[in-house]
Amino acid sequence: MICRWLLVICHPLLTTHYSLTMKYINEFRDPQKTKALIQKIEQIGTQIYAGKPIKIMEVCGGHTHAIFKYGLEDLLPKTIELVHGPGCPVCIMPKGKLDDAIALSQQPHVIFATFGDAMRVPGSKYSLMEAKANGADIRMVYSPLDALQIAKQNPDKEVVFFAIGFETTAPSTALTVLQAQSDRVENFSLFCNHVLVVPALEALLANPDLANPDLQLDGFVAPGHVSTVIGTEPYRVIAERYHKPVVVSGFEPLDILQSIWMVLKQLAAGRCEVENQYTRLVRPAGNVVALDAMQRVFEVRQEFEWRGLGDIALSGLKMRAEYARFDTEAKFILPNRQVPDRKACQCGEILKGVLKPWQCKVFGTACTPEHPIGACMVSSEGACAAYYKYGRLSMPTPQKIPPTPLRKGG
Amino acid sequence: MCLGIPGQIVEITDIKNKLATVDISGVKRQVNITCIVDDSHPVETCVGDWVLVHVGFAMQRLDPDEAAETLRLLDELAEFQAAM
């Protein structure tokens, strides 16, 4: 029922059906305004182009998906290149963590609850989906509160919720733990694998692979929904220490294009600041209630392993000791093995923006959404799945555009 | 993963547990509104508010004035570009 609800809301065909009534969405898909923004982007792109495309990373997988869904790459001039970042929680999950999740789901007294996104991600042997087919009691839920409800309905079972996601999702699982505490539910725990955006961006900017001038990023379109929680302040380090413009962006086509235009305007003016395009939902200080819930339940891990990026200091969350009775890691002994990715899979390079999906040897041949080898092909927010779904099986070599002399205005 | 959808609160269903019904294009679902209530904006006053819904929680209140301002700016831009 819950999944059906999600399907109704998210299905693109049905969104078209509901198009007349989707307030705060339709207005931000207006073709006239899109055209005007593209013209502005073209003008300013030509103005600041210096022989190689201006590389802007959209960090969030939601942005990646929207960019492909609306064909924004085709609308943008060749002076601009979008680089798809590591903001897909499913894609950055190392295989060893999936193996832990699968091992938990196979415990006889466990009901393992997860968001649907994680179901098809391959572990070292198989996925949660295959574990379910083999008899493990795995339930797909829409909300962590649904997992808590399952725990209340099954007092003789231990319900483990696979808590993945960035700061957008972490407050919801923290609040669910606080609810479990207040309702005195003892058979519920979180397998906490939440990750943090800003430490990952810092790791990316410090990565030696990106020292190559051809791969250097010029600016960031930052994740709007993470920012509803954390606000705009935490990105200041990216602007100040790494001298990259950052614009927090919404998810509709006009939001993304306006944000790209704002990044370009900063580059043209030689500014590196944190700006907010998504003012209708993002406040500078974020959401105090959500941050407080996270602060009460979680603490920052010394380090957390990211697929492709390796161990990143202070980039993940774990449960505080006071909440050990809701902490899967305290309640169970996990295999906790490090499993390398298959050699053919180049998800790591794709997550860093070093390779495009179509440059991976197995893309679209051995690795497809039906039979994914790497996680970037699983999630609809993964760059590989987006390229595959929207028919970007190969791309022509971009044409070189002759540099034009700098001129004022535009 | 960070998918969020704007919806409008149409009814408070449980004041103590801060639960409300949110309407998203005619589809209604119960949502936890803990993150958007505080002393200056108690549960009882939330009906009519537009919120961003994510995994069963209202994560932030949508500011209609800011939405209108963004669109006004883009309108001006479109008019300016059309006139050129």
Calpha distance A327→A320 (Å, rounded) = 9
The beta-carbon neighbor of B38 closest among A117, A169, A289 is A289
Q: Which of B19, B28, B78, B5 is nearest to A31 (CA)?
A: B78
The range of the structural domain enclosing residue B41 comes to: 5-83
Question: What value does the mean pLDDT take over residues A151-172?
Answer: 98
Per-residue pLDDT, A12: 44
Q: What is the pLDDT of residue A19?
A: 47
Question: What is the distance between the alpha carbons of residues A74 and B3, in angstroms, rounded to a whole number?
Answer: 23
% of chain A residues with pLDDT over 70: 90
Comparing A71-85, A383-397, B42-56, which segment has the lowest mean pLDDT? Answer: A383-397
**Tokens matching residue B11:** 């009814």
For residue B51, give the chain A residue with the closest CA.
Answer: A281
B34 and A175 in contact by Cβ < 8 A? yes
- B23–chain A Cβ distance below 8 A for any pair: no
Q: Between B27, B32, B81, which is nearest A8 by CB?
A: B27
Q: Is the distance from CB of A129 to CB of A120 less than 8 angstroms?
A: yes
**Average pLDDT for residues B56-78, to the nearest whole number?**
97
List of domains in chain A: 34-87+198-276 (3.40.50.11750), 95-195+286-331 (3.40.50.11740), 347-389 (no CATH)
d(CA A146, CA B17): 15
Residue A8: pLDDT band by 50, 70, 90 thresholds?
A: very low
CB-based contact (8 Å) between B12 and chain A? no
* Percent of chain A that is helix, strand, coil (3-state, to 5): 45, 15, 40
Question: A105, A33, A115, A119: which is closest to A335 by C-alpha?
Answer: A105
Q: Which of A145, A164, A290 sits opposite B59 (nearest CB)?
A: A290
DSSP states of A266-292: HHHHT---EEES-TTT--TT--HHHHH
Chain A residues whose CB is inside 8 A of the B28 CB are none
Q: Where does A94-196 have alpha helices with state H? A: 95-105, 128-133, 144-153, 170-182
Chain B residues in contact with A289 by the CB 8 A cut-off are 34-38
Please tell me the distance from the alpha carbon of residue A351 to that of residue A12, in angstroms, as a whole number.
26
Query: Residue B33 sits in a domain of what CATH number?
Result: 2.30.30.140
Count of all residues that appear for chain A in the document: 410
- Give A35-71 pLDDT, tens digit per residue: 999 999 999 999 999 999 999 999 999 999 999 999 9
Question: What are the strands of the beta sheet with A110-114, ordered from one edge?
Answer: A138-140, A110-114, A158-165, A188-194
- Chain B residues close to A169, C-beta within 8 Å: 1-2, 54-55
Asked if the Cβ–Cβ distance from A277 to B29 is below 8 Å, we say no
Question: pLDDT tens digits for A221-272?
Answer: 999 999 999 999 999 999 999 999 999 999 999 999 999 999 999 999 999 9
pLDDT, mean of residues A134-147: 97
Tokens standing for residue A369 = 């959404």
B63 vs A contacts (CB less than 8 Å): 279-281
Q: Do A228 and B81 touch (CB under 8 A)?
A: no
d(CA A29, CA A90): 28
Q: Which residue of A has its CA nearest to B81?
A: A36
pLDDT value at residue A17? 44
Cβ neighbour number for residue A270 with a 10 Å cutoff: 9
Is residue A146's pLDDT more than 90? yes
A9 pLDDT tier (thresholds 50, 70, 90)? very low
Is A90 in contact with B38 (Cβ distance < 8 A)?
no
State mean pLDDT over A362-382. Answer: 88
Asked whether the predicted pLDDT for residue A331 surpasses 90, the reply is yes
* β-sheet bridge partners, residue B7: B51
Number of cross-chain residue pairs from A and B with Cβ atoms under 8 Å apart:
148
Q: Which helix (H) or strand (E) holds A190?
A: strand A188-194
CB contacts of B55 in chain A (<8 Å) are 115, 142-144, 169, 172
pLDDT at A20: 53
The pTM of the full predicted model, rounded to 2 decimals, is 0.91
Can you tell me the ipTM of this complex? Answer: 0.97
Of A101, A108, A105, A106, the C-alpha closest to A156 is A108
Give strand pairing partners of B61: B51
Q: Say which range, A184-193, A380-389, B30-39, B64-73, has the weakest mean pLDDT.
A: A380-389
Q: Under a CB-based contact definition with an 8 Å cutoff, are residues A122 and A406 in contact?
A: no
Residues of chain A with Cβ-Cβ distance to B22 below 8 Å are none
Which residue from B minimizes the CA distance to A22?
A: B25
What average pLDDT score do residues A160-174 get? 98
Q: Does B80 touch chain A (CB under 8 A)?
A: yes
Q: Quickly count: other Cβ atoms within 10 Å of residue B48's Cβ.
A: 8
Backbone angles phi, psi at A166, to 5 degrees: -85, -160
**Could you give the number of structural domains in chain B?**
1
Strands (E), A224-373: 246-249, 274-276, 298-300, 303-306, 310-313, 317-319
pLDDT confidence band for A373 (50 / 70 / 90): confident
Is-contact A90 A375, C-beta < 8 A?
A: yes
> Are the Cβ atoms of A171 and B64 closer than 8 angstroms?
no
Nearest to B2 among A39, A62, A142 (CB): A62
Q: How confident is the model at residue A21 (pLDDT cuts 50, 70, 90)?
A: low
Q: Mutation target for A interface from B13, B36, B40, B55: give the one with most A CBs within 10 A.
A: B55
Which pLDDT does position A207 carry in this prediction? 80
Q: Cβ contacts (< 8 Å) between B17 and chain A: which residues?
A: 179
Q: pLDDT value at position B51?
A: 98
The answer to whether residue A102 scores a pLDDT higher than 60 is yes
> Cα torsion at A77, A83, A89, A93 (round to 10°)?
150
Burial environment of residue A29 by CB neighbours within 10 A (0 to 12, 13 to 18, 19 or more): middle
Query: Among the listed ranges A44-48, A111-115, A227-231, A369-373, which one has the minimum average pLDDT value?
Result: A369-373
Q: Is B42 an interface residue toward A (CB < 8 Å)?
A: no
Residue-wise pLDDT for A285-311, tens only, equals: 999 999 999 999 999 999 999 988 889
Mean pLDDT over each residue of chain A, to the nearest integer: 90
Asked if B63 has any chain A CB less than 8 Å from its own CB, the reply is: yes
* Tokens, residue A126: 């198989």
Q: Spell out which residues of chain A touch residue B1, defining contact as CB-CB under 8 Å.
A: 61-62, 88-90, 115, 117, 164-166, 168-169, 379, 381
pLDDT at A405: 55
CA angle A91, A93, A98 (to 5 degrees): 120
Q: Are residues B52 and A228, on separate chains, in Cβ contact within 8 Å?
A: yes
Asked if residue A398 has pLDDT above 60, the reply is no
* Count of helix runs (H) and strand runs (E) in chain A: 17, 13
Mean pLDDT of the A362-371 span: 90
Question: What is the Cα–Cα distance from A176 to A145, expressed in whole angstroms?
Answer: 6
From B75, which residue of chain A is nearest by alpha-carbon distance?
Answer: A33
| Chain A touched by B52 (CB under 8 Å) | yes
